[in-house]
Amino acid sequence: MGTVSLRQEIYRRQQQNDAAKKVNVNDAAEMDSLILQITQKVTSTYGDLVSEVSRGVKPVQVLENVVETVVINEGITLEEGCTTEDTVKQVMNSILGYGVLQPLINDPEVTDIFVNGPKKVYKRVNQEDIPVPEISWRDDDHLEQYIRSVMIKCGRKIHNGIPVADGRDLRRRLRINAGIYPVAKTPYLAIRKHAVQAFTLDQLLRSGTFTKEVLNFLQKAVEARLNILLAGPTGSGKTTLLNVLASNFIPKTQRIVVIEEEAELNIDSDNIVYLEAKKKSGEDDTTLEMDDLVKNALRMAMRRIILGELRGREAFTLLRAFGTGHDGGLTTIHSNDIWNTLEQLAVMMLYANQPLSYQHLKRIISQSIDLIVYIENYRVVEIASVDGFDEQAGEVILTPVFATERNEEGKLECRFQIVSEPLRKLFWQRGVRLNADGTFDN
């Protein structure tokens, strides 16, 4: 007598016992609704398991066995000729994937997905929000069920008592925000992809992100261990530029510590440690904020600190480190222009609740940051050196090294302006001779 697998025997007996109640669904709308219904049943009953499998803590097979049991007990096949195993596969895709939104998530050109209601879906491509009318849900309740299943994947709950939630899909590098009634008039969902583009230096040169002169200057600045602040608006290419500069110009012999609130950077180096902020997830758990990670990095005997993005009180700790011998750092900040960058940085430092005046904080900035690079739409538009502090005016002294001008053809181009004495002296102290015309001696 041959060996019979337990799963096959369960299928056979269940199909015999439940043949009378088996549900066949052929209509596409009913099919989608039923998949969501089974998904909702599994996620609501086995939410912790779904979250653990989504995060890779437990194997997929464990959840698949649970789904099989639910499908068999319900006696459901999704269409004529569809086996129970096929049905389980579709339900698993719904639970671990994103169903109707999965094609948008897979599309590399889509950077954001917005669901403003059951019939209002948009995708962001090249900074433009484009409607996607072919994707919709039946009504608010239908969309809310979908949102609940999405947040469970991220290990988050959303219900009337917690009507707004943030989550992250680490595997797909997604940041997810959602809201339902009573905070939101209609359920909404916002999905942002966090994928730093893996551009090469040649690609950025050809696309006009910087000229050869600007690239040469930035290369020498990184090699000379200047503390560099990359500034610009959202989606301007700050993180991409940081990734390229660190990967290409930081010597492989130098130990790097990368600190991020959400992992994005992928720097080409083996001598590197990545740290990521962590929220509290239980009574015996603890929160590790960016400020904590910066303090921890100072104990790691690193040669370079790279902080993905300044957002709060970690700015004070980081700049204090930059100003006390931990040079060669790189970080980014959101701002509207190069002068607004200084204001934004000082405001963030106020979050540290130190007994220092606003003017004193600006003085710390002048002693800690060496170079500010401002970038818009993946184009470096200005580079300025930080040359000290004007005590009488109470302002940081900035000197433009490169600024955007129109060339002979009428095109915008970032051109060399001047080298200040403090900047030339700083390069000289780091073993690099910077000439008055912005060139370097080999």
Lowest mean pLDDT, pick from 85-94, 151-160, 205-214, 310-319: 85-94
Q: How far apart are CA 174 and CA 191, in angstroms?
A: 7
Count CB-CB contacts under 10 A for residue 323: 17
Query: Is 11 a residue whose pLDDT tops 70?
Result: no
Please list the residue range(s) of the chain that carry CATH number 3.30.450.370: 100-193
* 49-54: long-range contacts, CB 8 A cutoff, minimum separation 24: 50/95, 50/96, 50/152, 50/153, 51/152, 51/153, 51/154, 51/155, 53/96, 54/96, 54/153, 54/154, 54/155, 54/169, 54/171
CATH 3.40.50.300 placement within the chain: 201-429
pLDDT category of residue 27 using cuts at 50, 70 and 90: low
User: Residue 20 corresponds to which tokens in the numbers above?
Assistant: 């009378």
pLDDT given for residue 17 in this prediction: 47
- Give the rounded distance of the alpha carbon of 95 from its chain centre: 23
pLDDT at position 76 is 62
pLDDT value at residue 113? 95
Whole-number pLDDT of residue 78:
57
CA distance 384 to 229: 10
φ and ψ at 176, to 5 degrees? Answer: -125, 130
- Residue 343 binned pLDDT confidence (cut-offs 50, 70, 90): very high
**DSSP secondary structure letters along 348-396:** HHHTT--S--HHHHHHHHHHH--EEEEEETTEEEEEEEEEEEETTTTEE
Encoded amino acid at 291, one letter? D
As beta bridge partners, residue 78 has none
Pick the CATH number of 201-429 from 3.40.50.300, 3.30.70.260, 3.10.20.600, 2.170.130.10: 3.40.50.300
Confidence check: pLDDT of 241 > 90 = yes
Asked whether the predicted pLDDT for residue 331 surpasses 80, the reply is: yes
| Residue predicted with more confidence, 48 or 4 | 48
Distance CA 61, CA 208 (A): 48
Range scoring the smallest mean pLDDT among 34-38, 262-266, 397-401, 416-420: 34-38
Please provide the average confidence, as pLDDT, over all residues in the chain. 85
pLDDT per residue as tens digits for the range 382-407: 999 999 999 998 899 999 999 988 77
Q: What is the pLDDT of residue 47?
A: 78
pLDDT at 29 exceeding the cut of 70: no
C-alpha span between 388 and 398 (Å, rounded) = 8
259-303 residue pLDDT tens: 998 778 889 899 999 998 877 655 566 788 889 999 999 899 889
More confident residue, 21 or 327: 327
The CATH classification number of 100-193 equals 3.30.450.370
Residue 412 has pLDDT above 70, yes or no: yes
Phi, psi of 405 (to 5 degrees): -135, 170
Mean of the pLDDT values across residues 220-249? 93
Q: Flag whether pLDDT at 411 surpasses 90.
A: no
Contact (Cβ atoms closer than 8 angstroms) between residue 56 and residue 171:
yes
Most confident of 274-283, 313-322, 406-415: 313-322
Q: How confident is the model at residue 3 (pLDDT cuts 50, 70, 90)?
A: low
**pTM score:** 0.74
In this predicted model, which residue has the larger pLDDT, 194 or 12? 194
Mean pLDDT lowest for which of 30-34, 226-230, 357-361?
30-34
